[in-house]
């Protein structure tokens, strides 16, 4: 792992909300501006920009092109785009910084899930020859995963409800959360099934949102931020696509990504994980090897707000914010893509 000191020094996110009245570009205009302001830089100091979004979520080809309007793209900028969550844009920008010729990079992610039916859209992500014609949607797949976890004796429906209750309770202090507040586990368990064994609260809300992160290298980071969130390692891995050829009660690629990111299983103050369905938090806790005592998703996580294409980058922001704010010394952030935690990214951060 190359040892270039790169840190997060600025960030911003919109609240997660249903039916945002702003366009995706408008959501980004304010968010990127806020991140730049927090970092205490001028836009022209940004040496590389990387964006993450999804055409199919926005509902048109080349949808990401208009997002350039929020990035300050005149005069021309050095810029790239990933058809993926902003966390993968962060990876590309982090990599680009390591070449050493630039000091500051911007990564952002954005998406509005409200205009479409996410279950229909994401069903089109499955293998078009063998899986998509079956009409399996992400919720049904997640229910199969939850069932496998129950059948393996590794969790109970009460465990799922406890994940939800803790998420909502912790989200109470997160002004960007969409769902928050005290909920009783027994009351949750009394709710009818949505797609058995999942209940509605085991699913994430439908959210619109955007997030942006500013990174800087070495002395530049120290100059701009009194306590930068140093990225000690970042890695992402992908598993086979067919759910039938992998153990869906675990996420092997998350385990590999955590190791390659330099996470050794040692103490963590905070882990922000992209558990979009409540059983996935249980799977990720084991796959990432999170030790007892780690605060998991203090923001409430995706169950409290799920702005797809930004939600992974929001995990990085929530973890970095706790380091920059001084309440954590070591934090892990996780992002995912594909059905049933197929692709996983891990970012390990520390204070000085």
Partner 1 sequence: MSTDSPARKEEMVMEHLVSLTYRERLTPNLNRFVDRILEGELIGHRCPSCSRVYVPPKGYCPLCVVTTSAEDEVKVSDRGILTGFTIITPVAYYGQQATDPFVYASVLLDGASTPVGGQDITGVAHGRIHTGMRVRAVWRPPAERRVEGITNRGWGGLDAVIESFEVTGEPDASPEDYKEHLF
Partner 2 sequence: MTERCAVIGIGQTHFKKRRDDVSMPGLLREAIDRALEDAELSIGDIDAVVIGKAPDAFEGVVMPEIFLADAVGATGKPLLRVHTAGSVGGSTFIVGAHHVITGIHDRVLAVSWEKQSEGNAQWGLAGGRSGGIGAGGAFAPWIRAYIEESGAPEYIGWMVAVKDRRNAAKNTYAHLKMPDITLETVKESPMLWDPLRFHESCPSSDGACAVVLTNQAGARRSSKPAAWIDALSVRSELGQFPGRNPVRPQAGVECAHDVYRQAGITDPRREIDMAELYVPFSWYEPMWLEGHDIAGPGEGWKMVDSGETDIGGAFPVNPSGGVLSTNAIGASGMVRFAEAAMQIRGTAGEHQIDGVRTSLAQAYGGAAQYFAMGIFRSS
Residues that bind partner 1 (CB under 8 A): 19, 21-26, 29-30, 32-33, 43, 56, 58-60, 63, 66, 68-74, 112, 114-117, 120-121, 124, 128-129, 132-133
| Residue labelled with tokens 């092997």 | 252
Please work out, in degrees rounded to the nearest 5, the angle formed at the alpha carbon of residue 174 by the alpha carbons of 172 and 175.
Answer: 105
Which of 24, 92, 202, 350 lies at the binding interface for partner 2 (CB under 8 A)? 92
User: From CA 89, how far away is CA 94, in angstroms rounded?
Assistant: 8
| Bridge partner list, 48 | 105
Inter-residue contact 325 to 299 (CB < 8 Å): no
The distance of closest approach from Cβ of residue 69 to partner 1 in the complex, given in angstroms and rounded to an integer, is 4
Classify residue 22 by burial, with Cβ atoms within 10 Å: 0-12, 13-18, 19+: middle
| 101 vs 129 by CB, closer to partner 1 | 129
Tell me whether residue 227 or residue 260 sits nearer to partner 2 (CB atom). Answer: 260
What number of CA atoms fall less than 13 Å from residue 157's CA on the CB side? 17
Contact 324, 226 (CB under 8 A): no
Rounded Cα distance between 88 and 301, Å, is 18
For residues 47 and 260, give the distance between their C-alpha atoms in angstroms, rounded to a whole number: 27
CA atoms within 13 A on the CB side of 320: 29
Which run of H or E residues covers position 313? helix 311-324
- For position 128 contacting partner 2 by CB under 8 A, the verdict is yes
Count of residues that bind partner 2 according to CB under 8 A = 59
**Distance, CA of 337 to CA of 340 (rounded, Å):** 8
State which residue, 3 or 182, has the beta carbon closest to partner 2: 3
Residue among 2 and 44 whose Cβ is closer to partner 1? 44
Comparing CB distances to partner 1, the nearer of 63 and 143 is 63
Sign of the CA dihedral 266, 268, 274, 276? Answer: positive
CB 86, min distance to partner 1, A:
18
The footprint of partner 2 on residues 129-188 (CB under 8 A) is 129, 131-132
Is there binding between residue 98 and partner 2 (CB under 8 A)? Answer: yes
Q: How far is the CB of 137 from partner 1 (least distance, A)?
A: 13
- How far is 76 from 38, CA to CA, in rounded Å? 23
79 binds, among partner 2, partner 1, none (CB under 5 to 8 A by kind): partner 2
- Per CB under 8 A, the list member of 242, 247, 327, 352 interacting with partner 2 is 242
| Nearer residue to partner 1 within complex by CB, 43 or 194 | 43
Site for partner 2 contains 244 (CB under 8 A): no
Q: Which residues contact 314 (CB under 8 A, 6 or more apart)?
A: 13, 176, 209, 211, 272, 299, 305, 307
- Stretch of 128-136, 151-159, 175-183, 266-274 lying at the interface with partner 2 (CB under 8 A): 128-136
Residues that bind partner 2 (CB under 8 A): 1-2, 49, 54-56, 60-62, 64-65, 68-69, 73-84, 88, 91-92, 95-96, 98-100, 121-122, 124-129, 131-132, 235-242, 252-253, 256, 337-339, 342-343
């Amino acid at each position: 792992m190359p040892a270039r000191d790169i840190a997060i020094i600025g960030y911003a996110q919109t609240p997660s909300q249903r039916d945002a009245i702003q366009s995706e570009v408008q959501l980004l205009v304010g968010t990127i501006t806020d991140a730049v302001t927090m970092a205490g830089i001028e836009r022209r100091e940004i040496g590389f920009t990387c964006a993450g979004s999804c055409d199919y979520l926005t509902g048109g080809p080349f949808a990401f092109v208009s997002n350039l309007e929020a990035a300050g793209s005149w005069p021309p900028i050095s810029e790239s785009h990933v058809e993926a969550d902003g966390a993968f844009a962060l990876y590309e920008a982090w990599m680009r910084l390591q070449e050493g010729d630039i000091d500051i990079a911007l990564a952002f992610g954005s998406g509005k899930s409200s205009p479409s039916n996410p279950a229909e859209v994401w069903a089109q992500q499955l293998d078009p020859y063998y899986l998509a014609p079956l009409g399996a949607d992400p919720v049904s797949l997640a229910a199969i995963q939850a069932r496998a976890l129950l059948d393996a004796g590794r969790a109970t429906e009460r465990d799922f409800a406890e994940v939800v209750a803790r998420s909502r309770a912790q989200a109470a202090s997160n002004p960007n959360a969409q769902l928050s507040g005290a909920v009783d586990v027994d009351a949750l368990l009394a709710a009818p099934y949505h797609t058995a064994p999942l209940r509605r609260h085991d699913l994430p809300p439908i959210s619109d949102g955007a997030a942006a992160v500013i990174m800087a290298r070495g002395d530049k980071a120290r100059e701009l931020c009194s306590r930068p969130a140093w990225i000690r390692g970042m890695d992402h891995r992908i598993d086979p696509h067919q759910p039938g050829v992998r153990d869906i009660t675990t996420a092997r690629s998350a385990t590999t990504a955590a190791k390659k990111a330099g996470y050794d299983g040692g103490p963590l103050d905070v882990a922000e994980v992209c558990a979009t369905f409540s059983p996935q938090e249980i799977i990720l806790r084991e796959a990432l090897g999170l030790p007892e005592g780690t605060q998991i998703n203090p923001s409430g996580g995706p169950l409290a707000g799920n702005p797809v294409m930004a939600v992974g980058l929001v995990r990085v922001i929530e973890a970095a914010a706790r380091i920059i704010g001084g309440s954590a010394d070591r934090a892990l952030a996780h992002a995912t893509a594909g059905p049933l935690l197929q692709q996983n990214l891990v970012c390990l951060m520390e204070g000085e």
